[in-house]
Amino acid sequence: MQPRLVAKDIACRRGERLLFRGFSLTCDEGAAVHVTGANGIGKSSLIRILAGLLHPFTGSVDHAGAMGLVDERLALDANLPLGKALAFWEALDGCTHPGRALELLQLDPLMEVPVRYLSTGQKKRAALARLLNRNCPIWLLDEPLNGLDSHAQAAFEALIAQHCAGGGIAIVASHQPIALPAPQVIQLAEYAA
């Protein structure tokens, strides 16, 4: 199945405020999108709407293919050593090559460290490993480079390029520059309500 994500005429309200409206997006296989804008403009809210975690005020989102979300929440058991915490999800996700993500994200030396002791950048790398292990075609990434050092940033940018070259879709919300393959850059301010 070809991955696809279509958002139609989305408006987003948080509390009593309408943040943006009239937002539409169509992504087919290989698409890379960078949603950018100032703090508070609504980038994270948009990613959560696309992920189906937040209802849009108006509009609809349809997708074909599984979606994987990485945001600031680390969905790993804080009390387990990293290796065990990742293994829990590898089993559920049916991951057949967990070693690949560990190697690509240089997590091998951290397998015995409890998740709660990981540094900010190490936690982000662990979240990205979970994403890779899920092997899903649609990546929804909210500030994926936050906390990563320059080496890890470049490594993850290369992984996104590989994902899109293989037909995957990557939608990145970030206020900072990120190297994406032939990206569609969307200034969310253009849709401000």
Ligand X SMILES: Nc1ncnc2c1ncn2[C@@H]1O[C@H](COP(=O)(O)OP(=O)(O)OP(=O)(O)O)[C@@H](O)[C@H]1O
Between 22 and 40, name the residue whose CB sits nearer to ligand X: 40
Q: Nearest approach, Cβ of 34 to ligand X (angstroms)? A: 13
* Binding residues for ligand X (CB under 6 A): 14-15, 19, 37, 39-45, 175
Smallest distance, ligand X to C-beta of residue 51, A? 12
Of 86 and 173, which CB lies nearer to ligand X in the complex structure?
173
Nearer to ligand X, 119 or 187 (CB): 187
- Residue 62 exposed, middle or buried by CB count within 10 Å (0-12, 13-18, 19+): exposed
Cβ proximity to ligand X: between 36 and 133 the closer is 36
3-class DSSP state of 21: strand
Sheet strands side by side (includes 17-27): 17-27, 4-14, 58-64
Class of residue 24 by CB neighbours under 10 A (exposed 0-12, middle 13-18, buried 19+): exposed
Shortest Cβ 54–ligand X spacing (Å): 9
CA distance 139 to 142: 10
Least spacing, CB of residue 10 vs ligand X, in Å = 13
Per residue, the 3-state secondary structure of 106-144, as one string, reads: CCHHHCCCEHHHCCHHHHHHHHHHHHHHHCCCEEEEECC
Minimum CB distance to ligand X, residue 50 (Å):
12
Residues in the chain: 193
Q: Which is nearer to ligand X, 106 or 184 (CB)?
A: 184
The residue assigned the tokens 């994270």 is: 44
